[in-house]
Chain A
Amino acid sequence: MREAGYEVFAISNDTVERLADFAEQHGITFSLLSDEDSTVIRAFGIMNTLVRPDEGKHMRWYGIPYPGTYITDEAGIVVDKDFHQHHARRLSGRGLLHRILGTLPEQHADTPKATSEGNEVTLTTSLVDPTLMLEVISLLVCRLHIAPGQHIYAPSAPQAFTQASLKFHGEGLRFGEPAWPEPQRLNMTDLNIQVPVYEGEVIVSVPVTATSELVRLGHGLDQLSVKITVACTYQSCDEVSCGLPTTIETTFSVPLEELVEPDGVKTYAKRVERE
């Protein structure tokens, strides 16, 4: 984040001592700020009022915030924020960068990916992060390379055409809505209509998250990786003719990774395992 020009701060109602232990244990170098009496959390208006003052005193439950992230510009103006109704959900580091910068992060050698070739179209799928973690929202990137002179019909094309579509599958994964780019408009003079199509390269991103079906908080990993399958259905055409509707599929394996879990979570988990 620093390379991208951002200073990172994390705020909680933990004591300085707890934050010091956590930072040392996990090698954290950015600022962990202690809002012990929740003054700042209240000033932001995000204190979790579902917790009563007498609940979880030892764990300091009272005074916690609804978790979320603010992005500011150089003048300290909030330019974006990311909050989720469920406390465990948050964007991955590279997912957050994508949201902030509006561009997909560069592919790294550690990027899990797969490619499949079909009729005039090649599908390459990859994950922006090297791993998936519980409830951390990553991005699956689907690149469709369409052969020169060919086009495929966008999902918004009339139903008379074979609309391009993507289907996603992974045991214990949750997929969000795919974000298709703005299509081009193809003039079909014979029919007197403009049809939304894609030519060249189309990049579609879709949020993907590991759920509790796959990873149980505090209990370690039952499996080390998960398979993601992406199926793309399309029809490619040139100016005079069309191929048959085609479905191509990629499958690739993504490593799972444990969250950085505070000690308290493991203590709770051991208690559950003894029950």
Chain B
Amino acid sequence: MPDPGYIDEFGFYAPLPLNRAARREPGADFPTGPDIGSALPAVCLPNQHGQLVDIRQQCGNRRAIVVFHRSAYW
């Protein structure tokens, strides 16, 4: 059974104490960015190979799934 000191109010365990910043969860009204029906803001960023990727250009006539995540390191 996981140590209760590592289990948050949602019942989620992570190997980090609850008082660390990465364990803080927002209220239910947290911001979720652009609304449905609006244009996705421009995104031009380097990829894992160091090459600049412009999402609109890369998609051409295809649709996109754009995932924002916390970290690939921790």
A and B assemble together: yes
Residues of A bordering B, CB below 8 Å: 1, 5-14, 16, 18-20, 22-23, 28, 31-35, 40-41, 43-46, 48, 50-52, 55-56, 59-61, 64-74, 76-81, 83, 85-88, 96, 100, 135, 211-213, 216-219, 262-265, 268-269, 271-272
- Residues of chain A within 8 A of B50, CB atoms compared: 16, 20
Residues from chain A with a CB closer than 8 A to the CB of B45 are 11, 33-35, 40
Give chain B interface residues in 3-33, CB to chain A under 8 Å. 3, 6-8, 10-16, 20-22, 24-28, 30-33
- Chain B residues contacting A19 (CB-CB under 8 Å) are 47-48, 72
Contact at A7–B64, with CB atoms within 8 Å?
yes
Cβ of B71 and Cβ of A60 under 8 Å apart? yes
In which size bucket is the chain B interface? 35 or more
CB distance from A102 to the nearest CB of B (A): 14
Shortest Cβ-Cβ A-B pairs, 6 listed: A264-B74, A212-B13, A22-B72, A55-B21, A268-B15, A33-B45
Q: A70-B40, A212-B2 are in contact. Are A61 and B34 (CB under 8 A)?
A: no
Shortest B16–chain A CB gap in Å is: 6
Q: Quick one: closest A residue to B44, CB to CB?
A: A40
Q: Which of A9, A20, A60 contacts B64 (CB 8 A)?
A: A9
Please determine whether B36 and A81 come into contact, CB atoms closer than 8 angstroms: yes
Task: Indicate if the CB atoms of A216 and B2 lie closer than 8 Å.
Answer: yes
Tell me how far the C-beta of B58 lies from the nearest C-beta in chain A, rounded to whole angstroms: 6
Contact pick for B68, options A41, A216, A268, CB 8 Å:
A41
- Interface contact B67-A77, CB-CB below 8 Å: no
Structural contact, A265 and B66, CB atoms closer than 8 A: no
Write 7 A-B pairs (CB below 8 A) sorted by A numbering. Answer: A14-B71, A44-B41, A67-B68, A87-B70, A135-B12, A211-B12, A217-B14
Instruction: Please report the number of residue pairs spanning A and B whose Cβ atoms sit closer than 8 angstroms.
Output: 241
Hey, which chain A residues are within 8 Å of B53, CB to CB? 9, 31, 33
Q: A77-B40, A85-B28 are in contact. Are A5 and B22 (CB under 8 A)?
A: no
User: Are the C-beta atoms of B48 and A64 separated by less than 8 Å?
Assistant: no
**Interface contact A12-B65, CB-CB below 8 Å:** no
Question: Is B69 a contact of A12 with CB atoms below 8 Å?
Answer: yes
- Chain A residue numbers with a CB within 8 Å of B25 are 50, 85-87
The answer on a CB contact under 8 Å between A61 and B21 is yes
A264→B71 contact, CB < 8 A? yes
Complex CA gap A74/B37 in Å reads 13
Which of A11, A48, A52, A78 is the one whose CB lies under 8 Å from B26?
A: A48
Alpha-carbon distance A72/B62, docked complex (angstroms): 9
Question: Does the CB pair B68–A68 fall under 8 Å?
Answer: yes
Most chain A C-beta atoms within 10 Å of own C-beta, residue among B15, B20, B27, B65: B65
